[in-house]
Amino acid sequence: MDEEYDAIVLGTGLKECILSGMLSVSGKKVLHVDRNKYYGGRVGVNLSSGRAFGAPPPDDSYGRKRDWNVDLIPKFLMANGSLVKLLIHTGVTRYLEFKSVEGSYVYKGGKISKVPVDQKEALASDLMGMFEKRRFRNFLIYVQDFSGDDPKTWKDFDPNTQNMQALYEKFGLDKNTQDFTGHALALHRDDDYLNRPAVETINRIKLYSDSLARYGKSPYLYPMYGLGELPQGFARLSAIYGGTYMLDKPIDEIVLGEGGKVVGVRSGNEVAKCKQVYCDPTYVSDRVRKKGKVIRCICLMDHPVPNTKDALSTQIIIPQKQVGRNSDIYVSLVSYTHQVAAKGWFIAMVSTTVETDNPETEIKPGLDLLGPIRQKFVSVSDYYEPTDDGLESQIFISQSYDATTHFETTCLDVLDIFKRGTGEEFDFSKIKHELGDEEQ
């Protein structure tokens, strides 16, 4: 450990592993350390150690422990989203296999309906009345034909200055339709977007439908063996490009030099020197502030979610207004077919941003959709963000994982940190070139 590195990365969560990979690929000498014995931090762990919740060891009806890979932070990949692009460009996709998530549903008035994404589905949907359907269809056509570079497709509407509320009004969409469009298609977590330029939401809806067009069924993908495979894949990328890996290594101090700039990391008596540190909030409690709380409830079940046509994987979004809240509730379901549970088992996760003193009551509308639950684990965790941009200290801190149901914000954070840390955008071409060689 007593060596000098360009960068030391602390924590093997997904964000840190992607950063480690990108830094190694860019030619930096990287040391990647985790205080835990396993990869992944809070994204995806194996249940076998039972370390996550201090729950009693599962009995025999749960099958073999090694068959379980439970994510602590439920997220799906958008098939056309930035994480998939990162996976493909870095070649990490070759270590992984994915499955399409089978169903995408939205909650309205106590029951769930399939999210309509094209004109045909819009016309068949039970979410809207007949006239509303026509208006929604026109809206979808507008979004589909929309191109940011071509003002002709904007149809007398300036998406860069006019807000989303105005666009909804242009098409005469009612509150209910706005609700599922904003939350189940554009995947906004709250209603702030209504007052921001419409282009942002239009692009999000396009991402949804482009993702859907890619593999069908739903716009979401989920990796076989769980999300824990993602950090492992990027860690391998980093190692292949020379990154050094140390697990089970406690970090006692981040050593600062002149002007509060980082000079190294101490573990016991060993000090590794470095020019930069990249880490998750848990390694630097004095440099982050609490932004909020997220509640996540993991439910083990022996059946799929009712009313989803027995889908073996599903996402259900409960838009805030439907249940009188300020942030959405997300329900996701994966199963033994993803090699994350023993045969016949399903894992549902209900999560949301905490708004009250009684978070467990807040997720009740989600839990109520699931049917009988065999085992339930609840965790409420603080959501942290760094107090500064890290330029002065050269300590770059990622934000905690938010309640969103996909990885778009995760990637934005990673790319932003990379840019702050290296002063340049990540050059994807660098990797692609090298990949040609190693494919021999």
Partner 1 sequence: MVPKLLTPEQKESRMNICADILNNTDTDPDLLDTVTLKGTRFESVEAVKAKVTEVLNQLTEADFQLLSAMEKSYGAVAKSSTADAMATNRSGTAQRPNGSAQGKICQFKLVLLGESAVGKSSLVLRFVKGQFHEYQESTIGAAFLTQTICLDDTTVKFEIWDTAGQERYHSLAPMYYRGAQAAIVVYDITNQDTFGRAKTWVKELQRQASPNIVIALAGNKQDLANKRMVEYEEAQTYADEHGLLFMETSAKTAVNVNEIFLAIGREIEEAEPRTYPRTSSRRPGGSGQGRRLAEGDTGAKAAGNCCK
Q: Does the protein bind partner 1 through residue 91 (CB under 8 A)?
A: yes
Tell me which of 56, 57, 324, 436 binds partner 1, using CB under 8 A.
Answer: 436
Are 142 and 127 within 8 A, CB to CB? Answer: no
**How many chain residues bind partner 1 (CB under 8 A)?**
56
The residues pairing with 4 across neighbouring beta strands, listed in sequence order, are: 273
User: Least distance from C-beta 156 to partner 1, angstroms?
Assistant: 24
Nearest-angstrom CA–CA distance, 153 and 136 = 17
Is 118 near partner 1 (CB under 8 A)?
yes
Q: Decide: is 96 part of the binding site for partner 1 (CB under 8 A).
A: yes
- Chain-centroid distance of CA 318 in Å reads 17
Residue 274: closest CA among 284, 282, 266, 283: 266
Per rule CB under 8 A, is residue 39 in the interface with partner 1? yes
Question: What is the C-alpha separation between 235 and 19, in angstroms, rounded?
Answer: 9
- Contact between 29 and partner 1 per CB under 8 A: no
In sequence order, the 6+-apart residues with CB closer than 8 A to the CB of 6 are: 23, 28, 29, 30, 274, 275, 276
Cα gap 400→439, rounded to integer Å: 36
DSSP letter string over 215-278?
A: HSS-SEEEETT-TTHHHHHHHHHHHHTT-EEE-S----EEEE-GGG-EEEEEETTEEEEEEEEE
Window 204 to 223, contacts with partner 1 (CB under 8 A): 209, 212-217, 221, 223
* Contact set for partner 1, span 140-159 (CB under 8 A): 144
Residue 46 binding partner 1, by CB under 8 A:
yes
Bin 103: left if φ > 0, else alpha if -120 < ψ < 50, else beta: beta
- 294's CB contacts (< 8 A; 6+ apart) are 351, 352, 353, 354, 380, 381, 383, 400, 401, 402, 403
Please select the residue that binds partner 1; options are 244, 267, 282, 379, rule is CB under 8 A.
244
Shortest distance, position 187 Cβ to partner 1, whole Å? 18
For residue 255, state whether it binds partner 1 (rule: CB under 8 A). no
Between 385 and 434, name the residue whose CB sits nearer to partner 1.
434
CB of 326 to partner 1, least distance (A): 33
Q: How far is the CB of 212 from partner 1 (least distance, A)?
A: 5
Residue 13 binds partner 1, judged by CB under 8 A: no
166 is a site residue for partner 1 (CB under 8 A): no
Q: Which amino acid is at 52?
A: A
The region of 148-156, 320-328, 333-341, 362-370 touching partner 1 under the rule CB under 8 A is 333-341
Residue 136: CB minimum distance to partner 1, A: 14
Where along the sequence are the contacts to partner 1 (CB under 8 A)?
39, 46, 84, 87-88, 91, 93-99, 118-120, 144, 209, 212-217, 221, 223-225, 228-229, 232-233, 235-237, 239-242, 244-249, 337-339, 433-440
